[in-house]
Amino acid sequence: MLKRLMSLVLTIVAIAAVVVIPTTFKLQAFIVGSPVAGQLQQVKAKDLTLVCPGPAVQSSSSNKVGSFSTIGSAAVDYASQLPAGVNLKTLKLTGAAANSAALANSGGSLGNFATSSAVSITATDPQGLAQQNSKLLSAANYQVASAAGINGAIGANCQRPAAEQWLLGASTAIGREALLIVANPNATDATVNLQLFGGNGLIDGAGLNGIAVPANRTTILPLAGFAPDNQLLAIKVVAQGASVASWVQQKTVRGTLAGGADLISPAADAAASLVLPGLFKRGTADATALIKGNADYQDLTPSLAVFVPGSQAATVTVQVIGTDSKTFGTVLQQSVEAGQTMDLPITGLKDGDYSVFVTSSQPVIAAARLSRTLTAHATAGQNSTTDFAWLNAVPAGVTARRFVVPNSGISKLSVATTEAGAASVTIAGNGPTQSLAIAKLSSKSVSLTAGSVVTISSDVPVAATMIVDFNAMIVAIPVVDFQNQGGSIRVSVR
């Protein structure tokens, strides 16, 4: 009996020691008595695919509601440097398998082709050998669209599909049409949910969720059906099942006169500091005459659209800074409520080259509207040509970024620094290599040679936008680096 009692006491003491005394130990999994060591596995990045929006669209002449047709064809300019074993292929996003084709490429070529629909370009890389960046593949889509109800230049980067995108700048006010274009370059169907925000916040409405975008197809949605008579919209596009590419085709009609068009691309991520290069102001006198004769031309005044995607109001400071001492800029400050859009007119600017620098107490999304006027007449609008483009904020970087300059039009590059400091910028491929010294929070402009492939790099982060003028019809192309991420993961087999 005593022996049993002593055994019980010793057991209790042992348990107490385990509970009270801190112990460091390592937990391992065993298979047949041996620990399992995790194995490091390399994960190949998904092949780089860029999706181009194709030509302008308009409502079809058929009686079918929601039916659209394309206007002519768009030009796609592309450049690529492909290692051995990597090839380019295109896919027209019309749902037909026969629309897939190889794209001629000799490993470092510049090319272009015409397309009558949205199209994807993929750098197929079976072995995962290529480093993804704008040197591997860059492309942009252009068209001067002229048809009933539309007259203007549309252009955009061909973009990498994503599961979530924001677009800022759409308007469904009287005389304004906004069409949301969603393209799915994948072999699986996508389902898209939308959130729309206007000047009064979130817009509720039926039909915003569960929108089908079939595999290898494009879906077009008139935004006026969800949010009529809104001066400025921010749109959140969330895709499930497959990543998508999206744009807003925005056009202006004043009475019976088409007043310009643009393709609004997805905005840069919300941030407390944003840079928008390329606010090139032209035709101030003509624009002033048109505005004086007809208030509907008021949107020829440059403006900055701002949206706060978070839950707290933001105090936003906007600095518009010219490239030289002759172009005096301006400073704006405004409080913007959370979840609301606001359009801030930028007045008092003379003709010249500017860039926009935005700082905010909360992360914001911003875009600047740039306009062109060719001729003004005493009777406002008669035989005058106007057009516009939205400038997105551009992510700043130091890595080499490559882009193609169109064969037609007059193209200029705007390069802007950030709060990181003064930059030494190198521009190659545009004739002799150029070196630019750009002070902190300022910008410089460079004329570009038509048909060239230009590479920009710097020692501190800079942002850049190419502005192309097709006889007073304009497009804005941000200089960006699209890439999918690969990497490594540790896998344990149990």
For the chain, give the number of residues.
494
Position 385 scores a pLDDT of 85
Position 103 scores a pLDDT of 74
The pair of three-digit structure tokens given for residue 162, joined into one six-digit string? 């994503």
CA distances from 114 to 72, 141, 184 (A): 10, 9, 20
Tokens 């949010």 belong to 227
Q: What is the 3-state secondary structure (H, E, C) of the chain?
A: CHHHHHHHHHHHHHHHHHHHCCCCCCCCCEECCEECCCEEEEECCCCEEEEECCCCEEECCCCCCCCEEECCCEEEEEECCCCCCCEEEEEECCCCHHHEEEECCCCCCEEEEEECCCEEEEEECCCCCCCCCCCCCEEEEEEEEEECCEEEEEEEECECCECEEEEEEECCCCCEEEEEEEEECCCCCEEEEEEEEECCEEECCCCCCCEEECCCEEEEEEHHHCCCCCCCEEEEEEEECCCEEEEEEEEEEECCEEEEEEEECCCCCCEEEEEEEEEEECCHHHHHHHHHHCHHHHHHCCEEEEECCCCCCEEEEEEEEECCCCCCCEEEEEEECCCCEEEEECCCCCCEEEEEEEEEEEEEEEEEEEEEECCCCCCCCCCCCEEEEEEECCCCECCCEEEECCCCCEEEEEEEEECCECEEEEEEECEEEEEEEECCCCEEEEECCCCCEEEEEECCCEEEEEEEECCCCEEEEECCCCCCCCEEEEECCC
Position 26 scores a pLDDT of 43
**Cα separation, 471 vs 105, whole angstroms:** 32
Of 143, 145, 159, the C-alpha closest to 409 is: 143
Confidence at 20, pLDDT banded by 50, 70, 90: very low
Confidence at 21, pLDDT banded by 50, 70, 90: very low
Position 23 scores a pLDDT of 39
Position 95 scores a pLDDT of 76
Of 385, 366, 365, the C-alpha closest to 375 is: 385
Confidence at 1, pLDDT banded by 50, 70, 90: very low
Confidence at 109, pLDDT banded by 50, 70, 90: confident
403 strand-pairing partners: 454
Confidence at 2, pLDDT banded by 50, 70, 90: very low
Assess whether pLDDT exceeds 60 at residue 98.
yes
Position 13 scores a pLDDT of 43
What is the amino acid identity at position 133?
A: N
> What phi, psi does 82 have (nearest 5°)?
-105, 125
Confidence at 127, pLDDT banded by 50, 70, 90: confident
Assess whether pLDDT exceeds 90 at residue 341.
yes
Confidence at 374, pLDDT banded by 50, 70, 90: confident
Mean pLDDT within 287-295: 91
Mean pLDDT within 65-82: 89
Of 246, 239, 282, 244, the C-alpha closest to 264 is: 246
**Cα separation, 411 vs 477, whole angstroms:** 10
Higher pLDDT among residues 124 and 380, named by residue? 124
Lowest-confidence pick of 21-35, 204-218, 291-305, 324-338: 21-35
- Mean model confidence pLDDT for the chain: 88
Assess whether pLDDT exceeds 70 at residue 376.
no
Higher pLDDT among residues 40 and 260, named by residue? 260
Assess whether pLDDT exceeds 60 at residue 451.
yes
Assess whether pLDDT exceeds 80 at residue 69.
yes
- Asked if residues 299 and 251 have their Cβ atoms less than 8 Å apart, the reply is no
% residues pLDDT > 70 (the chain): 84
Position 99 scores a pLDDT of 75
The residue extents of the domains of the chain are 48-487
**Cα separation, 348 vs 330, whole angstroms:** 8
Range of 121-125, 148-152, 190-194 with top mean pLDDT: 190-194
Assess whether pLDDT exceeds 90 at residue 105.
no
**Cα separation, 113 vs 111, whole angstroms:** 7
**Cα separation, 475 vs 184, whole angstroms:** 24
Position 463 scores a pLDDT of 98
The pair of three-digit structure tokens given for residue 326, joined into one six-digit string? 């002759």
pLDDT digits (tens, 9 = 90+) for 161-178: 999 999 999 999 999 999
CA distances from 187 to 73, 164, 225 (A): 25, 19, 29
pLDDT digits (tens, 9 = 90+) for 398-444: 999 999 999 999 999 999 999 999 999 999 999 999 999 999 999 99
Mean pLDDT within 360-379: 85
